[in-house]
Amino acid sequence: MTLFNQYYPPNSTAFNGLVNDQVKSALDEDIGTGDLTALLVPASQVVTATIIVRETAIICGIPWVNACFNQVDAHVKINWQVAEGERAQANQVLCEISGPARSLLTSERCALNFLQTLSATATETSKYVVAITGTQAQILDTRKTIPNLRLAQKYAVTVGGGYNQRLALYDGILIKENHIAAAGSIGAVMAQAFALNSGKSIQIEVENLQQLQEALKAGATSILLDNFGTALLCEAVNLNKQSGKRAVLEASGGITLENVREIALTGIDRISIGSITKNIQAIDLSMRVKTLAR
């Protein structure tokens, strides 16, 4: 089970609350005091519309789309022709929507924003997951996410087949270079982390093999190897084996689709990638309206 699902099980009150809160914020931001352009359409006008994807993608964000339309107008009906997490092909119809024209037009942009963004993260994650098929490694996200969309993007990573490194600062201890510098040493900062008795995971980031040895000596059971080349990763894996495989090893930094499999084949346990949430390109989607009789 991913960390996201531990906190927000699908269809749970927590999950639905998260979706509704994010959608409300997005609609408030977009609509403000009212959609002036929608007033150009007769209030009695009823329409149907389709959402079409223009490129191959893993579809993600259906709960957010549903909430966008339903929060604007509970009378809007949506018939999905794909399931969450399904791969759709270019020019495929994803869903048909029917209801008052004003409601559909007001909801359109927010709904597409969520769908194109979350589908982008799920699609990019899936590419990395496929690239390391057959290895022992897992693909993880980072905290490098779009502000206020952190949890939605973490969810999208899981839809794409990835895992969550941690949800946020409250969800685990990750000791980085500046924490080590402030505390004085790897040994000192690890001792302080253990003394917290937080019940959360403790991970420490190291930048070379000497720091790796210090972290292992200090009792680290989860170690992030920052910007290690593949040769150094192989040495790190061997050092960990010599210590009795004390720690879960995670590679991070400079990882691309071109080198991720090579990195996975070093025997590393986890690979965290910031680009799957911060460098994504929105999936190309469009909504097309068909007018019905008034």
List CB contacts of 159: < 8 A, sequence separation 6 or more.
58, 60, 84, 85, 118, 122, 125
Annotated catalytic residue within 205, 214, 250, 269: 205
From 176, 235, 261, 278, active-site residue = 176
Terminal alpha carbon distance of the chain: 49
Has 226 been annotated as catalytic?
A: yes
* Residue 144 known to be catalytic: yes
Cβ atoms of residues 269 and 136 within 8 Å: yes
Q: Which of 30, 86, 171, 226 is catalytic?
A: 226
d(CA 140, CA 279): 15
| Strand ranges across the sheet with 77-80 | 77-80, 92-100, 46-53, 285-291
Write the CB contacts of 72 (distance below 8 Å, at least 6 apart in sequence).
27, 103, 106, 107
Cβ atoms of residues 59 and 25 within 8 Å: no
* Phi, psi dihedrals of residue 206, rounded to the nearest 5°: -125, 155
Annotated catalytic residue within 144, 150, 261, 278: 144
- Of the candidates 67, 76, 75, the residue with the CA atom closest to the CA atom of residue 24: 67
Tell me, yes or no, if 205 is annotated catalytic: yes
Any idea what DSSP says for residue 283? -
Catalytic site residues? 109, 144, 176, 205, 226
